[in-house]
Structure 1
């Protein structure tokens, strides 16, 4: 695995050095998925079929050899001899479309290579996104447990107060609802962690319950002012699926040319040597020409032309879709970063408030309930911050995915618990 990852040759995925001593980074997991994924390995097996088809397209038809023997009946003229003939023929018109047929097969094989590379890129990016999500969920889980614990304590205090007739019984309902929501949030986090870890292990070809340790050193840089223009510049070239569609169009163009050239009537040229029963030797050259009275290849030409137009329209639609998707993701990144900045600005004050309440509680200046409320507010805001960080990471991985362009100099700090 380490050797394959360090020597990976891919148009979009860069080789990495895998070091599992401190866990796996999202980039390491992305490369490992490309190498080990059973689904991708089965997909890459299609390359052998395409290369075999390319080999077949480069072969010319075999010549045909014919021979005959005429034996003289013994009761016939004794001056007659046995006759024989030997001839060879070949379809000359195969040369007309040979170059186009081979070009079509080569373009198809190259398009398949790009299509497989694009699916590998998609799979690697999905694995990176899951790794970022899993890391973020694991960061939030301790805070979710703290919130659940605080609300469980609040519920127990309310229950005791009701039993001692210090609080009315209806106070139990909101306290119980708050605790159940916190418990449901914690259970949902644990379930999502299990789902994402199982999905990553499946992509890596590992048992679903195999422990997977992650570490995150880097994040993503801030987008430049002209991020949209940079992302759209050269998009059809960077997107391997669009490049594969262009090669598919080129393959169909060559197929159409081959179909047009196939309209030329089939021409077989033959050479033969013969000896008849009178012992007369002859050498002859023959030509066989099809008469295109009914079938002139109109159907094949129409199919090839319609398929070419379909590929063109699909390419135009995919380019427009990709450009629109890039614009939407960049807009979402901008909005998410603004929202995250607003939450980041409130955290220092909440942290100071929680710390002051902790000191006041030690001096018996505030009630435990007030301190719990301050802690609960801080933990809830940290959870919101982590959720936005996760959304931002997923959006930026999505931007990489749709543009086919990895972002450089990633750097984001983990939030402190």
Structure 2
């Protein structure tokens, strides 16, 4: 299978999986409306989707470093979809938590192995990996619209229809897996070039956690916050969440282009400073004026997204699966561990007060990025300068 075809299929499959990460936040207003959940209760739903994913994702990364497990891609895609499909079928809060937790496990299993397969299919091209990340970002952006199209029509009882993207995603990845050359157990790929820089990877991971807290915190509550600021308009809330996720499409492409000229670390630093200012603007802007700040926040959070993935892989060249499991997967899950605190504070004060500490998260990420070196990128095998997408060394 040609490289471009493989990356396209993997990107669309990535979108189908990340619909379910975005779907958790998109379902929050419907849980509030139909089941009268408090802020603390809906943050518990976000936590359920995140906690198992946060723990399991690095474990799946270690597994993919030791052996190829390509069958995880279709299986994990279906698990992610099944959990969300079941989340609305029962009024039981415990059943809802279990369903979204199942979806979180599916997402956790998908990301490390998909990043390994995509890296192999890309032949080392940073541009191709950017397109793979873009697929996931588009999936996030489509989640609010997909959920609204289904649930707004017939209520939470129609969530089983949300399994359809998972079926499509599982089918799309099968030709890529058939084309992949089998590897003996115990070998995760060709020998890695370079040595591990564990200290830099740890600092990068802490920055990823700060980004995740800001991203997941806003994802869980921005639709409720926008609706609250605009006389309870559910459409305004859906639009805010859509903008938060849609900016990922532009951010990923822009990040790759800017990093090619100025370097991944420097571009990420600028991006996190922009994000701190835009979150502050989001919280202070009156009424509909908050929507442009949501879009700026989204772009600022997503510009470093694919850059962090490749930085992590370059800092840990001997453990690409582990690096991918942390930087690609945990970037959008570990923040859910903080969501209950935000929800509890919102119940006691206000949503604006509860969301205000999120301004500090990109500032902390900026401080951490300022300590990181820009690693040299090894030339990908089979790719030459004439290909136009070979990564160049930045400093």
TM norm structure 1: 0.21
Structure possessing the higher relative contact order (Cα contacts under 8 Å, 6 or more residues apart): 2
Q: Which structure dedicates a bigger proportion of its chain to strand?
A: 1
Q: Which structure dedicates a bigger proportion of its chain to helix?
A: 2
Larger radius of gyration between Structure 1 and Structure 2: 1
